[in-house]
Amino acid sequence: MVIKPKVRGFICVTAHPAGCAAHVQQQIDYVKSKGPVRDGPKKVLVLGASTGFGLASRVTAAFGSGAATLGVFFERPSEDGRLATPGWYNSAAFTRAALDAGLYAKNINGDAFSDAVKRQAIDLIKADLGQVDLVVYSLASPRRTHPRTGATHKSCLKPIGAPYTNKTVDTDRGIVSDVTIEPATETEIADTVAVMGGEDWEMWIDALLEAGVLAPGATSVAYSYIGPEVTWPIYKNGTIGTAKIDLERAAKKIDAALKAHGYGRAFISVNKALVTQASSAIPVVPLYISILYKIMKAKGLHEGCIEQMQRLFATQLYNGSALAFDDGGRVRVDNWEMRPDVQAEAAKIWPQVTTENLAALTDIEGYRSEFLRLFGFGLPGVNYDADYEPHVPMPE
């Protein structure tokens, strides 16, 4: 099958198996080029392991520290004649590379919010690894079926209290326009907290502790975003930000539980704004990212998910380093994004951007090519006019 990108709004409905594999290999090569992360994790559970920050965390653990990894994700597998989602191809490529390097790598493709997947993970850890010493919580989902009530909650990206009007960009067509987003209802806020807040992270840690599969001294980390004021009504002070406050609440509770369990720790890492499947769905944010990329690339400060996670592991979590917390108790690898000189330039460009000057004032081209790379398109060494087999079974 000759596989081409088919972009529909903020999603690409096709994915390229060889391109996704090349994308994963780039991440592996980057981590290897940085050298080993000393005293790193040995046995790692990654929740949301197939794309974005979760995949980058898994690659860093495996190829930076030689860790055994169990990855949990929710992806559509390929079938004969039918393409998978990119996370499936990424995970297949990661697993192949890890196994070839002599590393343990297994996967669970299912709903991480369910009790069944938690049980499956615990059984696999018991059978193969005994215990894990790092749990990465990197789920980004539009919905969650609650395992106790059976209710399905849908998350939304809306402001709270008042409508929010700002610029946004149709990244596909390059059109800058004003968008007004009506405020969320109380139910929508509660639903978003139910999906993207901390309850499920707590349920995972409770289940792992109860089953005795968390090593004494284990670490757990979840990811958050804060960003500049221009995005606060839709992010930090909106429904998703409210969910992130709940994630911080959970971090404190989990930290206390892990401290009691052999001096472990749990914390939130605030990461940089990056093009991922999750962030491309947020209004206003892609325009900010396009501006940010332009500035950070010019200053030689640009990082992708893999650079961010390698830096988190090498300068905060392991390698003889200590966690540096902000006054909210969070680790900040968004520190380069939030540098005053970077933010001052972003604030200057923001009001000037129009459809006409989008290409000149922002890195919309970089945004688009990075978006396509998420789906395996635009990678060097892949012949996009050639036939590729869409069905890639998960290596075991």
Ligand X SMILES: NC(=O)c1ccc[n+]([C@@H]2O[C@H](COP(=O)([O-])OP(=O)(O)OC[C@H]3O[C@@H](n4cnc5c(N)ncnc54)[C@H](O)[C@@H]3O)[C@@H](O)[C@H]2O)c1
Could you tell me which residues are annotated as the binding site for substrate? 225
Please, what is the minimum distance in Å from the beta carbon of residue 336 to ligand X?
13
- How far, in Å, CA of 368 to CA of 5, rounded? 12
- Nearest-Å Rg of the Cα atoms of the chain is 20
Choice between 63 and 73, CB closer to ligand X: 73
Nearest residue to ligand X, scored by beta-carbon proximity: 52
Residue 164 appears among annotated catalytic residues: no
Closer to ligand X by CB, 52 or 238: give it. Answer: 52
Strands (E), the chain: 7-8, 11-12, 43-47, 68-73, 105-109, 132-137, 143-145, 152-154, 164-170, 175-181, 214-224, 265-270, 331-332
CB of 278 to ligand X, least distance (A): 4
Treating both helix axes as pointing N-terminal to C-terminal, what angle do 199-210 and 115-124 enclose, rounded to 10 degrees?
40
Which residue lies nearer to ligand X by CB, 215 or 278? 278
Catalytic residue among 89, 164, 235, 318: 235
- Shortest Å distance, C-beta 14 to ligand X: 17
β-bridge partners, 164? 181
Binding residues: 48-53, 74-75, 111-112, 139-140, 225, 244, 274-276
Binding residues for NAD(+): 48-53, 74-75, 111-112, 139-140, 244, 274-276
φ, ψ of residue 152 in degrees (nearest 5): -100, 120
Enter the tokens of residue 217. 């001294």
Interaction site with ligand X (CB under 6 A): 48-54, 72-75, 87, 111-113, 138-141, 223-225, 271, 273-274, 276-279
Of 11, 98, 10, the closest CA to residue 46 belongs to 98
Query: In angstroms, what is the minimal distance from the CB of 345 to ligand X?
Result: 19
Residue type at 213 in one-letter notation: V
Q: Which is nearer to ligand X, 326 or 356 (CB)?
A: 326
Residues near 164 by Cβ (< 8 Å), separated by ≥ 6?
180, 181, 183, 233, 234, 238
The residues annotated with a catalytic role in the active site are 235
